[in-house]
Amino acid sequence: MNKPLVGALLALALLGAGAAPAIAGTTADTAPAATSTDPQVSVKAVDFAGTVSLSNCSGSVVRMPASEPDDPALVLSNGHCIESGFPSAGEVIVDQPSSRSFGLLNSAGSRVATLRASKIAYATMTDTDISLYQLTRTYAQIEGSYGIKALEINAAHPVRGTAIKVVSGYWKRIYSCSIDGFAYRLKEGEWTWKDSVRYTSSCNTIGGTSGSPVIDNATGKVVAVNNTGNEDGLRCTDNNPCEVDEKGTVTVRQGINYGQETYGIVPCVGLDNKIDLGRAGCALPKP
């Protein structure tokens, strides 16, 4: 996985200070913003609005196409970023109380507020790698106080060749690339994910970018959530996911990173932004 920052810093300590020069700080407030001279990263300040920093990951305030202004807002991140640790394969978490805090960023990438969760509405690492936190404030309250709108999740399957940005609220960095294709199955350690988004090589994401929204440049909508990459060229191990096709053929792509599609979340969110796994069209794993 694009490890939560705790894991990334542990790896740095084990490998030596020169092993991961891209990790420049220990908190979002001290992490330097990327510059346009970085060949792997481009920055457009407007693109940070609505993203959030977690204690160890990235995320974003998101809405469904049918969400209402007075609905409790949702924060999207990875299942492997939740505070209780990685969910086991087959584990699904629904309506678990949480008071986790999130740093809300404005268009310039500055932290303007602290948002707080009331619960983990949904989290899993089975078939996908997502978490959805319900906040104590509504979309209207957030926009009214800070002028920041939630990012909308696209209800359609992403398309190969689409230009995208992976926007990290933790590092205040934006990675630009395209959707290279889709992995029928992506296997990493005990977890298997379905129909994952594979990026072209310029989205060279690092620890702390886990949970970043993957945004379609043309529409500004969220099409995936960043979650992993093959670091060492190993086969199907932790931090080294492999692709498995319909015939069972395994492909390893060292240095390539992946995200999990988000369009499948939309049918599972009902009235008042409540997760309803029994709704028509909802295929998210159930407890």
What is the 3 state secondary structure string of 114-155?
EEEEEEEEEEECCECCEEEEEEEEEHHHHHHHHCCCCEEECC
pLDDT of residue 1: 84
pLDDT of residue 4: 73
Q: How far is CA 105 from CA 71, 114, 145, 182, in A?
A: 20, 9, 13, 30
pTM of the model: 0.87
Q: Residue 120, Cβ neighbours under 10 Å: how many?
A: 23
pLDDT of residue 5: 62
Q: Residue 274, Cβ neighbours under 10 Å: how many?
A: 14
Q: How far is CA 71 from CA 74, 76, 282, in A?
A: 9, 15, 20
Q: Are 287 and 94 in contact (CB under 8 A)?
A: yes
pLDDT of residue 92: 98
The contacts of residue 97 (CB under 8 Å, 6+ apart) are 118, 119, 120
Distance CA 33, CA 114 (A): 20
pLDDT tens, residue by residue, 70-80: 999 999 999 99
The list of the chain residues with pLDDT below 70 reads 3, 5-46
Q: What does the DSSP 8-state code read for residue 267?
A: G
pLDDT of residue 199: 98
